[in-house]
Amino acid sequence: MQEKERGSTLAAPTASAQLRTLPGGTETRISIEGVDFYYGRFQALNDIDLKIQDKRITALIGPSGCGKSTLLRILNRMYDLVPGSRAEGRVMFEGENILTARNLLELRQNIGMVFQKPSLFPMSIRDNVGFALRLHGWKKSRVAEAVERSLKDANLWEEVKDRLDAPGVSLSGGQQQRLSIARCLAVQPKVILMDEPASALDPISTLKIEDLMARLVNDYTIVIVTHNMQQASRVADYTAFMLMNPENRAGELVEFAPTVELFQRPRDRRTEDYITGRFG
């Protein structure tokens, strides 16, 4: 497998099957420390420790029900929407514990999220991208600039620049997903969470999203949940393998390592079983 040095934006890496080498000493962006999570009485996550590296792609993989999506939704407190859910432990981001953060709006501007389904708002392409900015009361001209920048960053500008006033839902599935990424980029988050961003897309659209991720990671920290191991091995610098504990059905972190290591020399037997297809 070809390995390639990352760091120069000029040599924009294509996502295809390249594992980036990992220069040592990168910063931790989000530090997950001893996190337990409960839906009512049911414990969904047990004692998760994970350090998300700055400007790297971290993939969370594992079979259904292992809690990888739950873990992702802890990072921007989306679980607050579920009545009766609570998290314990610490998730440190910029010197603050996310789990006790007061200002959720600021948190969610810093930590953006892209969902499995694009769920575009019932408005134009332009207004979808500018949605959050208009809420913040930005002037029209500034919003217009940010919309263009975000669409360019999301590799969508060329395809939609002539029909920005068309409804967002008039786009194809892959375009819609890139639009939802642009919508997320518009608020200039520091971290982007992606929950199965390509699982509903065809292979070509999927590749486009993966290319986009490889480019975005120059400026953003990305955490992606995926059930597709090939995708994790293609795009992620680090991979965390999670599994449901058969006794109490709580999700646990089995192994966390640079992607190359995890896929080529898994240390845990369960990881090996999973990535070689002997499980799930």
Partner 1 sequence: MVITTAVALLAPLLVIVIVLLLAGGAQPAIRQFGAQFLVSSAWNPVKQQFGAEPFIYGTLVTSILALAMALPVGVGTAVFLAEPSLPRIRGTIGIGVELLAAIPSVVYGIWGLYVFAPWLLMHLSRPISERFGSVPVLAGPARQTSVLTASIVLAVMILPTLAAISREVVRAVPSGLKENSFALGATWWETIWKVILPAARPGIFGATVLAFGRALGETIAVTMLIGNRPQIQTSLFGPAYTLASVIANEFTEATGTLYPAALIELGLILMLVALVVNLIALLLVRSVAGEGATR
Q: Which residues bind partner 1 (CB under 8 A)?
A: 76, 78, 81, 83, 104-106, 108-109, 112-113, 115, 117, 119, 121-123, 131-132, 135, 167, 169-170, 180, 183-184, 187
| Phi, psi for residue 109 in degrees, rounded to 5 | -75, -30
Minimum distance from CB of 68 to partner 1 (Å)? 17
Amino acid (1-letter code) at residue 256: F
Which of 99, 94, 102, 96 has its CA nearest to residue 71? Answer: 99
Spatial separation of the C-alpha atoms in residues 222 and 217, rounded to whole Å:
7
Pairing verdict, β 85-93 and 28-39: antiparallel
| Phi, psi for residue 158 in degrees, rounded to 5 | -60, -35
The alpha carbon torsion through 88, 220, 154, 116 (nearest 10 deg) reads -20
Looking at the Cβ atoms of 63 and 167, the one nearer to partner 1 is: 167
Minimum distance from CB of 193 to partner 1 (Å)? 8
Spatial separation of the C-alpha atoms in residues 216 and 43, rounded to whole Å:
34
Spatial separation of the C-alpha atoms in residues 244 and 252, rounded to whole Å:
6
Looking at the Cβ atoms of 57 and 181, the one nearer to partner 1 is: 181
Minimum distance from CB of 171 to partner 1 (Å)? 10
Minimum distance from CB of 170 to partner 1 (Å)? 6
Minimum distance from CB of 225 to partner 1 (Å)? 14
Looking at the Cβ atoms of 132 and 235, the one nearer to partner 1 is: 132
Looking at the Cβ atoms of 12 and 105, the one nearer to partner 1 is: 105
Q: Which residue has the tokens 């786009």?
A: 171
Tokens coding 272: 């090996």
Looking at the Cβ atoms of 171 and 243, the one nearer to partner 1 is: 171
Minimum distance from CB of 195 to partner 1 (Å)? 10
Looking at the Cβ atoms of 90 and 117, the one nearer to partner 1 is: 117
